[in-house]
Amino acid sequence: MRILVTGGAGFIGSNYIRYVLREHPEDEVINLDALTYAGNLENLHDVEYNSHYHFIKGDIARPDDVSKAFSLGVHGVVNFAAESHVDRSILNPEAFIRSNVLGTQVLLEAARQAKVDKFVQVSTDEVYGSLGEQGYFTEETPLAANSPYSASKAGADLLVRAYGQTYGLPLNITRCSNNYGPYQFPEKLIPLMIIQALADKPLPVYGDGQNVRDWLHVEDHCRGVDMVLRRGRPGEVYNIGGHHERTNLEIVNQILAELGKPLSLVQFVQDRLGHDRRYAMNADKITRELGWQPQIDFPIGIQQTIRWYLEHREWWERVRSGEYQEYFAHQYGDRTENTPAGGRAE
């Protein structure tokens, strides 16, 4: 099978490409990525010369770029390409609508014309909104997105559904909880906190630190997406979750403990606007239908991830240069010394 992976130079996409080339060496992968600030071909340095891997620099919102990829012959599409950071969506929603909504529609249209065997939309638990202290999101939970990011992902999900209903495009939507693991861009909670702690700098925790996320290792997510691509029932949505709900403060404290750093590095900062309180997934359907289960326990996964960041200092020092520095300065001010103002909208 020749698989078009969009956003393959990002965190999850690059892990997915590596997974496919390892687990299905007979397959071919075309990586279509615009190489935004989050896209980095260094994430794929080890497969760069694999004859079953091809890279095309292109934007999923540009029909010409997408046509170029489809001209190679595509049997399956896995759409990871997106603007993915909630805080950035609060600062600049427009980019999210363009890539996540328009981009998905352009891709769907090309997939329809090419009569692909399967289109998988990689979505998120955030489209369901926020939970109170009890309960879990199921695939039937109504969409109730609260941030420009999650609204753009929900819009994309509805377009994907519409292409199935209207044109009969064989598709699936996966909705996954928070990922962690190697190659995650250090604007997201876990890598950011590891790197701040390594430098003995303050760890900015939004609000009271009691917001809950469900953490899943990226390798487990990739395996789930791949099962859905190959065996998911056309038209179905599959939740993917880690069964590992923790408050942000618990995660941050665990990172500090692993690194032998003091809790005094925690700094409570202004809350994220519209900050969802709790996400928790019921992922029974993918387990029941496809036999998927998470395999990497969080205590092991977090230790491996911390080690990865310790051993790849050059990688994160490079990605933290350039445009990222501007964003970082705008978002938090100089976090090295002062109290940052996380999530502010200016």
Active site positions, annotated? 125-126, 149
Binding mask 247-286 for ligand DAU (x = CB under 6 A): -x-----------------------x------x-------
Q: Which does 81 bind (CB under 5 to 8 A by kind): ligand NAD, ligand DAU, none?
A: ligand NAD
Determine the residue with CB nearest ligand NAD: 10
* Whole-angstrom distance, CA of residue 129 vs CA of residue 137: 9
Assign 237 to helix, strand or coil.
strand
* 188 contributes a contact to ligand DAU by CB under 6 A: yes
* 126 contributes a contact to ligand DAU by CB under 6 A: yes
* 246 contributes a contact to ligand DAU by CB under 6 A: no
Q: Which does 122 bind (CB under 5 to 8 A by kind): ligand NAD, ligand DAU, none?
A: ligand NAD
Sheet holding 237-240, edge to edge: 53-57, 28-33, 2-6, 76-79, 118-124, 171-176, 237-240
Q: Shortest distance, CB of residue 161 to ligand NAD, whole angstroms?
A: 16
Q: Other CB atoms closer than 10 Å to residue 231's CB: what's the count?
A: 13
Q: How far is CA 103 from the centre of its chain?
A: 16
Q: Shortest distance, CB of residue 86 to ligand NAD, whole angstroms?
A: 10
DSSP 125: G
Q: Which does 101 bind (CB under 5 to 8 A by kind): ligand DAU, ligand NAD, none?
A: none
Burial letters 176-200, b for 16+ CB under 10 A, else e: bbbbbbbbbbbbbbbbbbbbbbbee
Give the tokens for residue 129: 């909104």
- Residues with Cβ within 8 Å of residue 235, at least 6 apart in sequence: 164, 170, 171, 172
Q: Which is nearer to ligand NAD, 216 or 265 (CB)?
A: 216
Restricting to residues 198-217, which ones interact with ligand DAU according to CB under 6 A?
204-206, 211, 213
Residues that bind ligand DAU (CB under 6 A): 84-86, 124-126, 177-178, 188-189, 192, 204-206, 211, 213, 248, 272, 279, 342
